[in-house]
Amino acid sequence: MIGAELSLLRREPHLKWGALALLMLVAIAAWNGRMLLESRTADATLALQESRDTIEALAKQAGNGNPTATSPGAAAFGAVSATIVRHIATGESLAIGQTDLEANFQTLTARNPYASFAASAPDNALRLAVGNFDVAFVLVWLVPLLVIAAFFDIVAGERERGVLALAVVAGAAASRYLWTKWLTRTLASIVVTWLAVALAIVVGEQTWTGDTAIALLAWGTVLSAYVFFWAALALACNVGRGNSERHAAVLAAAWLTLVILLPAAINLIVSNVFPAPSRVELAAQLREATESADRAAAKDRDRWFFDHPDLRSGEAERVAYYRSVAASERVITAAITPQLSAFETRAAERRELTRRLQWLSPAATTHDALTVLSHTDGASQAAFRDAALQFHARWQAFFFERIDGDRALTHEDYARLPKFESPSTSSLLALQRAATNVIVLFCIGVLLCLYCGVRLVRLDAILPQEEGG
Amino acid sequence: MIEAKGLSKSYGSVQALHELDLEVRAGGIYCLLGANGAGKTTTLNLFLGFIQPTSGMAAISGVVVRDDPVAARRQVAYIPETVMLYGMLSGVENLDYFAKLSGCRHDQRALRGFLQRAGLAPAAHDRPLKTYSKGMRQKVGVAIALARNARALLLDEPTSGLDPKASNEFSELIAGMARDGAAILMATHDLFRARETGTHIGIMRDGVLRAEFVASEIDHVSLENEYLKIMKED
């Protein structure tokens, strides 16, 4: 029976072409993701190399007593910068997630943190306008359509073709016959989905590690649960009254609702309950804080030189200038830290509400699991921003204590510059988080199957037939 | 053998079938005539176990359908008015599929043999069913019955929509199956074909079997007159 059903499936042109189209789109999306990451990696590598080259050159010059290299102020506010790069996790090319909102590297100086972060604002306005065509998007949107195409007439169509009656007369219990058909089609859809994930990894991933196999297994499991949910929903729709056209319309409406409308509604609710902090407002606050700090610093500097007119030129003035800049940057940092903190708090609130509301839409649940597995979810981005802030504080402290103490930078100091560690992308933690989503999808699928089981047992007792002459 | 005793079916206050007594022995072809809504399809559905009788008994080869519908269905082959099957599978693949569902395994040679016995030319065996005419699809239905070696055959207006030649071929096919020992119950509107093919003829109206004839004892004209008389009764 399973072999015969597979033979039937192979002959259905809309499924064959649908599966091929899905695989083709997945390959294009994976290639798109790979190209995006390659260009980002190349940009980051270039920036990182530039920073390292500068530091190396300055270290040599510091050994030779070059005043630009030995002056902590000159180095901190002009010559030296740190490029920090977010670690690209396995599978990131498959789920761009929110990475299109922020660059994957930042170049920091000892100035206030916002001065660095503002430079890493959306890196490609065009990409933001059209969104990223990634594998997660293709699979979350299109896999349900393939499942619907395979299942929309699984009961009604058999009845309409007169096949169910013939099958029952041939000795098969209607429920067993339909369950076998359903199971075969579900397994076939899952196999197509795994093939799609494998293809995406082959096309999208630049390097293969142990994590690649874990990514394949994890993505395959999440999408299998998604397929299972849609297959169960299609069967639940089919065991009700109505013909196959009606079931196709109901399932298309379900797709529209669960895949498009509900995620859009979730976005709308989150945006209204927790409006995103305005970057323009943040920039205005920063400008205000900067101007106020600059004014205060200038006032202090003028007073200092008023008290020490004999130090008004040469090295002493330069030291005083850098101290005042450092003081000014401290004030600005202190002034904008609450704003940046509010920004992060709001982002965390939005993530939490989104995570709660995502259970309304299996598509949102699946997409969340896929971005979590690829470390491109909002939390991973926040972890990078947090690590960047902490690193910035260490970087600033490194230079400021030398500026304040008027300690010249040495060759060895350059070797002691703080090093950035990208936040860990633990596969285990991601798997734990994604597992909840898989379990929820699976449980809903099981509940739908139980409902179908009850309806199909009734079909065994009396096979509905149209009453004729 | 196909047998009904006091078989009745009601839908609320509507009596779809009333106290039907009927018997088709091995080798017999019983043709049920009647207008739309006379109770012919209800009768077949009761024998197939698709619906439950309100009272009475339907049995196939001694197995009471209500008591063990699965066992009863094992004895019977069914050909509906329109045999749709799977359009993208060929005749031989459809036959293989349904034979396997019945638990019968036949090799390709045997399957093609059944199709040939059912009157389907070998050139058509491997063509997709969606390219078949209705007559050709009915022949695949007969081939399924042959592959299952069914001892009873239930036919629901199988010649409806067939051209005279195809209708004649189909009648010869089922006559051949009856000669091989099958009991056949056929619901039809075709008086001529019922008289030509059947061994017994029953005329139904409003769920009641109004008249029964031995086919060889009545000519076409008399059968038509009897039929019209029953249909015109108040």
Structure confidence by residue, pLDDT tens digits, B32-46: 999 888 889 899 999
d(CA B48, CA B63): 12
Q: How far apart are CA B76 and CA B72, in angstroms?
A: 7
Partners of B48 on chain A (C-beta within 8 Å) are: 165, 168-169
Closest approach of A463 to chain B, Cα-based (Å): 5
- Across chain B, what does the average pLDDT equal? 88
In terms of average pLDDT, the best of A85-99, A313-327, A333-347, B90-104 is: B90-104
Q: Is the pLDDT of residue B137 over 70?
A: yes
CB-based contacts of A92, cutoff 8 Å, min separation 6: A33, A37, A99, A374, A375, A376
CB B153 within 8 A of CB B79: yes
Neighbours of A300 (CB within 10 A): 15
- The pLDDT tens digits of the residues spanning A333-381 come to 887 788 778 888 888 898 899 999 999 999 999 999 999 998 888 888 8
**Residue contact A467–B86, C-beta within 8 A:** no
Residues of chain A contacting B70 with CB distance shorter than 8 Å: 171, 173
Residue A163 contacts B, CB cutoff 8 Å: yes
Residue B114 placed within a domain: yes
Task: Please state the rounded mean pLDDT for residues B123-144.
Answer: 89
Kindly give, in sequence order, each residue whose CB lies less than 8 Å from that of residue A365, ignoring residues fewer than 6 positions away. A358, A359, A437, A440, A441
Asked if B46 is an interface residue toward chain A (Cβ–Cβ < 8 A), one would say no
Q: Is the pLDDT of residue A284 over 60?
A: yes
What is the residue range of B135's domain? 87-149
The pLDDT, as a whole number, for residue A467 is 38
Chain A touched by B50 (CB under 8 Å) = yes
> Residue B83: is its pLDDT beyond 60?
yes
Residue A69 CA to residue A66 CA, distance in Å, equals: 5
Q: Which of A7, A8, A169 sits opposite B78 (nearest CB)?
A: A169
What's the confidence (pLDDT) of residue A122? Answer: 47
Instruction: List the single residue in A with minimal CA-CA distance to B204.
Output: A469
Provide the shortest C-alpha distance from residue B96 to chain A (in Å): 9
Place of tokens 């491997």: B126
Q: Do A469 and B16 touch (CB under 8 A)?
A: no
Dihedral sign (CA A194, A198, A203, A207): positive
Give A455→chain B minimum CA distance, Å: 16
Amino acid identity, residue B101? L
User: Quick one: B38 and B141 in the same domain?
Assistant: no
Average pLDDT over residues A408-429: 87
List the one residue out of A29, A28, A36, A45 whose CA is nearest residue A124.
Answer: A36
Mean pLDDT of B157-183: 84
Inform me whether the pLDDT recorded for A459 exceeds 90: no
Q: Residues 6 or more apart from A313 whose CB is under 8 A from it?
A: none
Of B37, B83, B93, the CB nearest to A162: B83
pLDDT tens digits for A148-163? 999 998 888 888 877 8
Q: In the prediction, which pLDDT does A123 show?
A: 47
Task: Mark whether B27 and B116 lie in a shared domain.
Answer: no
* B residues 176-195 closer than 8 Å to A (CB): 187
Same domain, B164 and B145: no
Tell me if B193 is assigned to some domain. Answer: yes
Q: Which residues of B121-156 are buried (b: 16+ CB within 10 A; e: fewer)?
A: eeebbeeebeebebbbbbbbbbbbbbbbebbbbbbb
Place of tokens 């943190």: A113
The whole-angstrom separation of Cα A408 and Cα A464 is 92
> Are B36 and A171 inside 8 Å of each other by CB?
no
User: What was the pLDDT predicted at A211?
Assistant: 80
- Of the candidates B46, B41, B35, the one whose C-alpha atom is nearest the C-alpha of residue B8 is B46
Across the beta sheet with B76-79, the strand order is B76-79, B152-156, B183-188, B29-33, B200-205, B208-214
Of A192-196, A300-304, B42-46, highest mean pLDDT: A192-196
The reply to whether B125 and B28 lie within a common domain is no
Contacts with B49 from chain A: Cβ below 8 Å: 463
Ranges A18-22, A62-66, A191-195, A349-353: which has the least confidence: A62-66
Q: Closest by alpha carbon to A156, among A181, A139, A192, A132?
A: A181
Check whether A461 has a pLDDT greater than 60.
no
Q: Is the pLDDT of residue A195 over 90?
A: yes
Can you tell me the distance from the alpha carbon of A260 to that of B68, in angstroms, rounded to the nearest whole number? 49
Do residue B43 and residue B143 come from a single domain? no
User: Based on the domain organization, do B125 and B227 belong to the same domain?
Assistant: no
Reading the block at residue A74, the tokens are: 């000159």
Confidence of residue A299 (pLDDT cuts 50, 70, 90): confident
Are B161 and B223 within one domain? yes
Nearest to B84 among A162, A177, A465 (CB): A162
The predicted pLDDT at position B71 comes to: 84
Find where tokens 């699965």 sit.
Answer: B70
What residues form DSSP beta bridges with B8?
Answer: B55
End of a domain among B100, B121, B149? B149
Q: What is the pLDDT of residues A82-111, one digit of tens each?
A: 999 888 888 888 887 666 666 778 888 888
Q: Please choose, from the candidates A401, A303, A347, the residue with its C-alpha nearest in 3D space to the C-alpha of residue A72.
A: A401
Of residues A171, A462, A464, nearest to B74 (C-beta) = A171
Q: What are the DSSP E strand ranges found in B68-129?
A: 76-79
Instruction: Indicate the number of domains in chain B.
Output: 2
Identify the closest residue of chain B to A10 by CA–CA distance. B88
Partner B contacted by A173 (CB < 8 A): yes
Q: CB-based contact (8 Å) between A168 and chain B?
A: yes
Name the 3-class secondary structure at A102: coil
pLDDT at A466 (0 to 100): 42
CA A311/CA A291 separation, integer angstroms: 26
User: Which of chain B's residues have a Cβ under 8 Å away from the Cβ of A469?
Assistant: 34-41, 157, 187
Give me the sign of the Cα torsion angle A162, A163, A169, A174.
negative
Give the count of Cβ contacts less than 8 A between chain A and B: 96
B230 to chain A, minimum CA–CA distance in Å? 16
Average pLDDT of chain A is 84
**Residue B82 placed within a domain:** no
pLDDT at A385: 85
Here the ipTM equals 0.81
- Contact at CB, A171 and B85, closer than 8 angstroms: no
A244 in B contact zone (CB under 8 Å):
no
Mean pLDDT of A68-72: 87
Whether B81 maps to a domain, the answer reads no
User: What distance in Å separates the CA atoms of residue A184 and residue A116, rounded to the nearest whole number?
Assistant: 55
Q: Is A276 on the interface with B (CB under 8 A)?
A: no
Domain boundaries, given as residue ranges, for chain A = 28-133+273-429
Q: Report the percent of chain A where pLDDT is more than 90.
A: 38
Contact state of A1 with B103 under an 8 Å Cβ cutoff: no
Give contacts of B76 with chain A, Cβ < 8 Å: 169
Instruction: Tell whether B69 and B139 lie within a shared domain.
Output: no
Give yes or no for a contact between A297 and A335, defined as CB atoms under 8 angstroms apart. Answer: no
Stretch B54-81: mean pLDDT = 88
- 5-34 in chain B: CB under 8 A from chain A: 11, 16, 34
Res. A464 pLDDT band, cuts 50 70 90 = very low
Do the Cβ atoms of B36 and A161 come within 8 Å? no
Listed residues B100, B133, B149: the one ending a domain: B149
Average pLDDT on A200-226 reads 89
Selecting from B41, B76, B101 the residue whose C-beta is nearest the C-beta of A167 gives B101
Q: Is A6 on the interface with B (CB under 8 A)?
A: no
Token couple for A110:
């000892």
Which residues on B lie below 8 Å from A12 (Cβ)? Answer: 88
DSSP notation for A346-413 = HHHHHHHHHHHHGGG-HHHHHHHHHHHHTT-SHHHHHHHHHHHHHHHHHHHHHHHHHHHTTPPP-HHH
| Rounded alpha-carbon distances, angstroms, from residue A389 to A106, A238, A313, A338, A396 | 11, 54, 36, 13, 10
- Does residue B91 share a domain with residue B41? no
CB A173 within 8 Å of CB B73: no
Look at residue A436 in the predicted model and tell me its pLDDT.
Answer: 93
Residue A369: other Cβ atoms inside 10 A? 32
Nearest CA distance, B87 vs chain A (angstrom): 9
Domain at B24, CATH number = 3.40.50.300
pLDDT, tens digit (0-9, with 9 covering 90-100), for A117-134 = 655 554 444 444 445 678
Could you tell me whether strands B152-156 and B183-188 are parallel, antiparallel, or unpaired per DSSP bridges? parallel
Using a CB–CB cutoff of 8 Å, tell me whether B114 touches chain A: no
Check if B74 contacts A (Cβ < 8 Å). Answer: yes
pLDDT at B91: 92
